[in-house]
Structure 1
Amino acid sequence: MTDQMADPAVVDAWLTILCARGLLHSAEPVGRSGWAVQRTPDSSPCFLTTPAEASRFIASVQRGQRR
């Protein structure tokens, strides 16, 4: 991922896309630049506290989809 991905608006857009495509169950904003995400309805939420951390998470979801 590029530095551009660290923009909270870009992260929001990517998380929305991943949810719409069924790759994530949910992604909810937490505070100004954090997110609570769930991969499946039964999984525990994962809290991403920075845009950079969220970018790494998004990249891992994309890599997993390519396999």
Structure 2
Amino acid sequence: MMEERETAEVRARILHEAEEREKAIAEKLPPGLERDEHWMLGERLSDAAWAIEEEFDLELSPSGLWPTADGSDG
């Protein structure tokens, strides 16, 4: 079970890194279809990472929406 969770963490991290790369590309492009395509690909990668995080109850980057175990907001 731990190996599955570790694999899920790696997959989610890789997806988030790819998301950031796509969005960085989008930010450098002028408004238009190509920019939108890169941004939306980043969003799809983020959604895929989120699905993995939910499935395995991972929280690679705390959202700040809920208090953490130590009582802080993230």
Where on the TM-score scale, by shorter chain, does this alignment land: which range?
Answer: 0.3 to 0.5
Instruction: Report the structure, 1 or 2, having the larger helix content.
Output: 2
- What TM-score, normalized by structure 2, do the two folds share? 0.30
TM-score (normalised: structure 1): 0.33
Instruction: Give the greater-gyration-radius structure (CA).
Output: 2
